[in-house]
Amino acid sequence: METIRGKTSLTMDSTELHARLANYKRIALDLGTGDGKFAFCHAQTFPSHFIIGMDSCRENLREYSRTNLPNLLYVIANAQSLPHELHGQISHVTINFPWGSLLNSLLEGDPRLLCGLESILGSGARLEIRLNGGALSEQGWSLEDGSERIFQNLAVAGWRLDAPAKMDSHALHHFPSTWAKRLAFGRDPRAIYGSASLK
């Protein structure tokens, strides 16, 4: 599994990863973490949680991956090919404002993503997902229809969904991610939040 710290790329095997995770009861994966700000803020706020920020674009991660928090790790990987080292390790997944191939996989119900997620999750795992109108519009979907399609795909894959909630510009402004701040002041400051657990 490829990890990154600043400009340095390192390989971490299962033994080393399990040693890092050993003293943490909650292990969260921020999938499609972007620049990694949300993962960093989560790790700072909850030192008893171990946070893994994962993205396929290493350049975006250079700033936040320089930090030396013991409960934070950044991993370079595609959402459609999740590292086998994470198998059964994750108790919580966040997907915040996906776009590009990650959003496409959610809209299409891509089994590489959905089966991959199932493989890395432990029992009682939770998923939180936030979808924004602008990204869905670029894919030809309205916020409402695109969100419904994604939630249907998750339900078919075995997730039990809670009732979704809307996020307005105020909620986006106070959400700890770089992209949420841009959305809050953008042309389409709308988003939908959903949460789910595996059946």
Mean pLDDT of the chain: 94
Q: What is the reported pLDDT for 149?
A: 98
**Residue 190: alpha-carbon gap to chain centroid:** 19
**Residue 68: alpha-carbon gap to chain centroid:** 21
User: pLDDT, tens digit, for every residue of 72-94?
Assistant: 999 999 999 999 999 999 999 99
Residues near 151 by Cβ (< 8 Å), separated by ≥ 6? 161, 164, 194
- What pTM does this model have? 0.94
Contact status, residue 116 vs residue 95, Cβ threshold 8 Å: no
What is residue 86's DSSP assignment?
Answer: G
User: pLDDT, tens digit, for every residue of 17-67?
Assistant: 999 999 998 999 999 999 999 999 999 999 999 999 999 998 999 999 999
Q: What is the reported pLDDT for 88?
A: 93
